[in-house]
C-alpha cells in the first residue's frame, strides 16, 4: 500500500509540476506585454509565494489531524481551475490575483505530499526517499519550460495556460481515484503536534528554515529576471530561454536519486553547505555572461548545486518532523521557501528599476552566501547536534516504518 502511495503521488506531482514549469519562462515576458514594470513583475511573482506562506503552516497542521488526501485533491483541483484565469487577464494586477489564488491551492499540495512521503520513509533512508520523490518535482519543472517555449512559439501564449490547467486536472484525478489514506499521521513517533514555539526553538528546524528562506530569495530573483536578462541582453529566443531553465532543473532532477542516497551515507550538513556555496557563486556570475553557452554552464552549475543540497535538507526535515509533527514541520519548511521566493522578486524589481538588472543577480548571490553561513551557525550549535543524536534513538524506539516500497 505504501508503494501505491509513492507511485500515485509521484505521477500526480509530476503532472502538476510539468504544467507549472510550462509557464516559468513565459510569464515574465507575458506580463511585460501587458505593461508590467519591474516592481509589477515582483508583485506578480511574489503574490504566489506570499499566498502560500500565509496558508501553508495552518494547512500542514490541519493535515496532521485530518489526513493528507483531502488537501492534496482540493489543491490540485483548485489550482487547475484558477490556471485558466490567465487567459482572461488583461492587466498586470489581474495576473497578480490569479497568482495569489494559485498560491492558496498550491499550499495544499507540496508540503502535504512531502509530509506523506516523509511518513513512509524508513529510518536512515530519508534522503533516498525524499530524493526519489523530488525527481517528480524537478523533472516536471525542468521539462515544462522546454514544452512551454514550443507551445508559445507555435500555438500562442494561451495554449500554454490551457496546458498547465489540463495537466493539473490529470494530477487531481490520479490522486482522487488511486491515492489511499493510510492515516500515518496518527501513527508517528508522537501523536501530539508540537507548538510553533517548540518547533522554532529546535536548532535543526531553525537552521533548515533560515537556509531555505534566505537562499530562496536568490532563487526567486533568478527565476523572475533570468528570462528578461537572457532576452534583452543576450538576445535569446523563448525556446532558448526554456532550455536554460530546463537544463538546470532537469540536471537537478537526474541527480536527486544518487545524491539522496549520498545524503544517507555522508554528512548532510556538508552537502548543504557545498551546494549552497556553488549555487551562490553561480548566481553571482550570471551578469558577467556574454552568450548562450556561458549562461547554460552557469544554470547547469545551479542545477548541480540544488541536487546536492535539496535531498540533504529534506532528510533533515523528515528527522525533525518525526519528533515534532511531519505536516507542521513540512509546512514551516515550505513556508520559508515561499517567503524567500516572495521577497526575491519584490527586491529584484526594485533593484531592476533603480540599479539595473545586473544588480539583481549580484544581490541574489550574496543572499545565498548569507544563507549558507546562517545554516552553519545554527547547525553547529551543541544543542542542535545533541538533538540529532536523540532523534536517532527515539526513532529506533518509537517509529516503525512501512517497508513495502
- Of the candidates 211, 228, 230, 231, the residue with the CA atom closest to the CA atom of residue 316: 211
Q: What DSSP letter does each residue of 340-401 carry, written as one string?
A: HHHHHHHHHHHHHHHH-HHHHHHHHHHHHHHHHHHHHHHHTSHHHHHHHHHHHHHHHHH---
Residue 192 pLDDT: 52
**Which residue reads 501564449 in cell numbers?**
157
- To the nearest 10 degrees (0 to 180), the angle between helices 238-263 and 268-285 is 160
Domain borders along the chain are 2-398
Overall CATH class of domain 2-398: mainly alpha
- 141: pLDDT strictly greater than 80: no
List, for residues 237-256, the tens digit of each pLDDT value.
Answer: 877 887 888 888 888 888 98
Distances 163 to 156, 160, 316 between C-alpha atoms, Å:
12, 5, 35
List, for residues 211-227, the tens digit of each pLDDT value.
Answer: 888 888 888 888 788 88
Residue 196 pLDDT: 66
- Of the candidates 111, 92, 83, 97, the residue with the CA atom closest to the CA atom of residue 21: 83
Whole-prediction pTM: 0.69
Mean pLDDT of 274-301: 94
Amino acid at each position: 500500500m505504501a508503494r501505491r502511495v509513492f507511485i500515485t503521488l509521484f505521477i500526480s506531482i509530476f503532472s502538476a509540476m510539468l504544467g507549472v514549469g510550462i509557464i516559468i519562462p513565459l510569464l515574465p515576458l507575458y506580463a511585460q506585454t501587458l505593461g508590467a514594470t519591474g516592481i509589477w513583475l515582483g508583485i506578480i511573482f511574489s503574490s504566489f509565494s506570499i499566498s502560500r506562506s500565509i496558508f501553508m503552516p495552518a494547512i500542514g497542521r490541519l493535515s496532521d489531524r485530518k489526513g493528507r488526501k483531502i488537501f492534496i485533491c482540493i489543491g490540485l483541483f483548485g489550482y487547475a481551475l484558477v490556471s485558466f484565469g490567465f487567459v482572461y487577464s488583461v492587466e498586470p494586477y489581474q495576473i497578480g490575483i490569479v497568482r495569489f489564488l494559485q498560491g492558496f491551492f498550491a499550499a495544499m499540495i507540496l508540503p502535504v505530499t512531502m509530509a506523506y512521503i516523509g511518513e513512509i520513509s524508513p529510518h536512515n533512508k530519508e534522503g533516498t526517499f525524499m530524493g526519489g520523490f523530488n525527481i517528480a518535482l524537478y523533472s516536471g519543472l525542468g521539462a515544462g519550460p522546454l514544452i512551454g517555449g514550443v507551445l508559445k512559439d507555435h500555438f500562442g501564449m494561451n495554449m500554454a495556460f490551457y496546458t498547465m490547467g489540463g495537466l493539473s486536472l490529470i494530477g487531481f484525478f490520479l490522486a482522487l481515484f488511486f491515492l489511499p489514506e493510510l492515516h500515518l499521521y496518527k501513527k508517528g513517533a508522537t501523536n501530539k503536534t508540537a507548538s510553533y514555539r517548540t518547533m522554532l526553538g529546535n536548532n535543526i528546524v531553525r537552521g533548515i528554515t533560515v537556509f531555505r528562506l534566505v537562499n530562496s530569495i536568490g532563487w526567486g530573483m533568478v527565476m523572475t529576471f533570468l528570462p528578461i536578462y537572457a532576452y534583452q541582453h543576450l538576445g535569446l529566443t523563448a525556446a532558448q530561454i526554456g532550455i536554460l531553465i530546463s537544463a538546470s532543473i532537469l540536471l537537478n532532477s537526474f541527480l536527486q536519486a544518487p545524491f539522496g542516497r549520498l545524503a544517507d551515507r555522508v554528512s548532510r550538513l556538508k552537502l548543504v553547505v557545498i551546494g549552497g556555496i556553488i549555487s551562490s557563486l553561480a548566481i553571482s556570475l550570471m551578469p558577467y555572461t556574454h552568450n548562450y553557452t556561458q549562461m547554460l554552464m552557469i544554470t547547469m552549475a545551479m542545477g548541480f548545486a540544488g541536487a546536492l543540497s535539496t535531498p540533504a535538507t529534506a532528510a533533515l526535515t523528515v528527522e525533525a518532523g518525526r519528533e515534532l509533527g511531519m505536516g507542521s514541520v513540512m509546512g514551516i519548511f515550505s513556508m520559508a521557501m515561499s517567503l524567500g521566493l516572495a521577497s526575491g522578486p519584490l527586491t529584484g524589481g526594485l533593484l531592476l528599476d533603480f540599479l539595473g538588472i545586473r544588480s539583481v543577480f549580484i544581490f541574489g548571490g550574496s543572499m545565498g552566501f548569507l544563507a549558507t553561513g546562517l545554516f552553519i551557525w545554527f547547525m553547529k550549535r551543541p544543542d542542535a547536534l545533541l538533538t540529532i543524536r536523540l532523534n536517532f534513538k527515539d526513532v529506533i524506539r518509537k517509529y516503525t516504518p512501512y517497508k513495502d516500497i
